[in-house]
A and B are shown apart, each in its own frame.
Chain A
Amino acid sequence: MSSIPEPQLSSLYQELILEHYKRPRNRGELEGGTVEVHMRNPSCGDEIRLQLRVEGDAIMDLRFVGEGCAISQASVSMMTTVVKGGRLDDAMGLAKRFTEMMRGDPEAARDRSLKDLRAFQGVSKFPVRVKCALLGFDALQEAVKRARGTEGSPAVPGATP
């Protein structure tokens, strides 16, 4: 008998996405938030409100509330676990890298700084779902800009890049 092969990493990745969808992390209202962003994906009705508590250049805490498809909610949930406690620059870099991966950049997909978020690479093959996966990161970028005070205008609900 030959030895039993191991499962491909991707099935564990997909399980991780479904796990975040079923049990979202950092979901709920944030006490003492300093920045709040509301974003919507008009094509499929996904909606999130992301709150950050920023002190200096650090994201001390963040939470989200939202409604929408499995992929949008799982992606926001996983994003919060990666950026929580980190620096604004790193959060911005992460959002850029994640967006590149979702747009099909193979270099970005190998970037270990994305951690578990690499699980979403498989979703990049489904163009209609890419926007769902990006929703939380669009909100994050907007929130970071506002925290830095470089972006004066409030986020327009429904606006997506």
Chain B
Amino acid sequence: MGTIYLDHAATTPLRPEVAAAMAPFLQGLVGNPSSVHRWGRAARSALEDARERTAALLRVRSDEIRFVRGGTESVNVAVLGRAAWLRERGDGEVVFLRSRLEHSAVRESMDAAGALGVRSETFEVDASGRADLPTARELSARGVEFVSCQWVNQETGMILPVPDLARECNAAGVPLHVDAVQAAGRIPLELDEHPIAMVSLSGHKLGGPRSTGILVLRKGTELRPLMFGGGQERGLRPGTEDVAGAVGIARALDLSLDTMEVESPRLADLRAWLEAGLVGAIPGTRVHAGGASRAPHILGLGIPDLPMDVLPGALDLEGIGASAGSACMSGSTEVSPTLRALYGDDASGYAPLRLSLGWTTSAEEVSEALRKIPPIVERIRVSAGVTS
């Protein structure tokens, strides 16, 4: 057995069907979609086909799809774009609300929006998945102008109650932005059924290309552009369009959703196997958000009596790819904001390990991981002078 990759929530291999779909747009002359000649029209046609396909898959209108350069960019365009729009309208200080579990893209773009007169507030979510959601009345009373909430947490897989929150936001007339980067292709989104104003997606988490993302911007929600130039993507993402990228992310979304009813139960079973095996073999291990409803591909563990940050490196030496919190937290020895929000000070007593599964994960890989990981943990405990 060679290496075992269990970090699909960080990034997952490009699907071969995606590479095949993109290939014609990565070689030779691919016109600029804004050009009037045949090369330009061919590129425009491929781009708009990708947009229509994406819209149909997400059950929204094609003029509500903006192709952007990644999930982080999608989040920034939504958060800062809304802040800039409110600022321009002259509202003075406004309140933006987010859950305490948000990815750094949401946290930091909201903090940066402070310069545009935004005051950030948070709502609590506990380890059982219960969220202290604001009611429509509370949103209005607190002067909230924008809410952002992730659908699936990147470190624990926890599914947040987005449909409930969408209902309250809608009743209060407050636009809701949802970071669905870890949710797409894993749980049904059904965007036609929930009044969500903005949704952010990332291509490479679906087996698509890097640096591709989508912002779903439902009709009637206004943003101010953050970048200026040729007006592409209805002004929100100027610059010559990445036709290959749009074709790639559309195909990746297509494949992910097409196989979801089979793939998600498969990953859920593999995750359950991995979870039961590791919890049984490593004394004291707790499952992060274990009591909450979780997306099938992420297993967040807290392992006591272990130095905080050595596990991913030790696993790598044995050919296993995994991470501590989210990949964006790697290298940091601090407790992640997610785990601090869920477990408070207690989080610092457990070394975090995130194992995440994807479309290439096989039962053999899981079996091998189960065989290899417990002795590695035991060795670190012994060498750190902690025996259990």
Cβ of A56 within 8 Å of any chain B Cβ, yes or no, is no
Chain B: which residue is nearest A5 at the CB level?
B276
Chain A: which residue is nearest B259 at the CB level?
A70
A74 and B262 alpha carbons, distance in the complex (Å): 11
A126 and B261 alpha carbons, distance in the complex (Å): 7
Residues of A within 8 A of B265 (CB): 10-11, 14, 122
**CB within 8 Å of B: which of A4-24?**
4-8, 10-12, 14-15, 17-18, 21
Known A2-B280, A2-B281; contact A18-B366, beta-carbon cutoff 8 A:
no
Residues of A within 8 A of B269 (CB): 7-8, 10-11, 14
Taking a contact as CB atoms under 8 Å apart, the answer to whether B273 and A7 are in contact is yes
Taking a contact as CB atoms under 8 Å apart, the answer to whether B273 and A17 are in contact is no
Known A11-B266, A18-B266; contact A129-B261, beta-carbon cutoff 8 A:
yes
Taking a contact as CB atoms under 8 Å apart, the answer to whether B280 and A5 are in contact is yes
* Chain A interface, number of residues (Cβ within 8 angstroms): 24
Cβ of A71 within 8 Å of any chain B Cβ, yes or no, is yes
Interface membership of chain A positions 6-45, coded 1 if the CB is closer than 8 angstroms to chain B and 0 otherwise: 1110111011011001000000000000000000000000
Interface membership of chain B positions 237-262, coded 1 if the CB is closer than 8 angstroms to chain A and 0 otherwise: 00000000000000000000011011
Residues of B within 8 A of A12 (CB): 363
Residues of A within 8 A of B105 (CB): none
Least CB distance from A110 to B in Å reads 19
Residues of A within 8 A of B363 (CB): 7, 11-12, 15
Known A4-B371, A7-B366, A10-B269; contact A18-B259, beta-carbon cutoff 8 A:
yes
Residues of A within 8 A of B276 (CB): 5
Taking a contact as CB atoms under 8 Å apart, the answer to whether A4 and B370 are in contact is yes
Cβ of B333 within 8 Å of any chain A Cβ, yes or no, is no
Cβ of B221 within 8 Å of any chain A Cβ, yes or no, is no
Interface membership of chain A positions 52-84, coded 1 if the CB is closer than 8 angstroms to chain B and 0 otherwise: 000000000000000001110010000000000
Cβ of A156 within 8 Å of any chain B Cβ, yes or no, is no
How many A-B residue pairs have C-beta atoms within 8 angstroms? Tell me: 64
Known A1-B281, A4-B277, A12-B363; contact A17-B262, beta-carbon cutoff 8 A:
yes
Taking a contact as CB atoms under 8 Å apart, the answer to whether A70 and B262 are in contact is yes
A17 and B262 alpha carbons, distance in the complex (Å): 8
Cβ of B31 within 8 Å of any chain A Cβ, yes or no, is no
Cβ of A114 within 8 Å of any chain B Cβ, yes or no, is no
Cβ of B128 within 8 Å of any chain A Cβ, yes or no, is no
Interface membership of chain B positions 281-306, coded 1 if the CB is closer than 8 angstroms to chain A and 0 otherwise: 10000000000000000000000000
Cβ of B374 within 8 Å of any chain A Cβ, yes or no, is yes
Known A11-B273, A15-B363; contact A1-B280, beta-carbon cutoff 8 A:
yes
Residue among A2, A8, A122 with most chain B CB within 10 A: A8
Cβ of B270 within 8 Å of any chain A Cβ, yes or no, is yes
Taking a contact as CB atoms under 8 Å apart, the answer to whether A5 and B258 are in contact is no
Residues of B within 8 A of A123 (CB): 261-262
Partner among A5, A11, A21, A69 whose Cβ is within 8 Å of the Cβ of B277: A5
Least CB distance from A4 to B in Å reads 5
A7 and B69 alpha carbons, distance in the complex (Å): 38
Taking a contact as CB atoms under 8 Å apart, the answer to whether A21 and B273 are in contact is no
Residues of B within 8 A of A5 (CB): 273, 276-277, 280
Can you report 8 residue pairs joining A to B where beta carbons are below 8 Å apart?
Answer: A3-B280, A4-B281, A7-B273, A8-B269, A14-B265, A17-B262, A70-B259, A122-B265
Query: Which residues of A come within 8 Å of B, CB atoms?
Result: 1-8, 10-12, 14-15, 17-18, 21, 69-71, 74, 122-123, 126, 129
The 10 tightest CB contacts between A and B, nearest first, are A14-B266, A11-B269, A2-B280, A7-B273, A8-B269, A126-B261, A4-B277, A70-B258, A70-B259, A1-B281
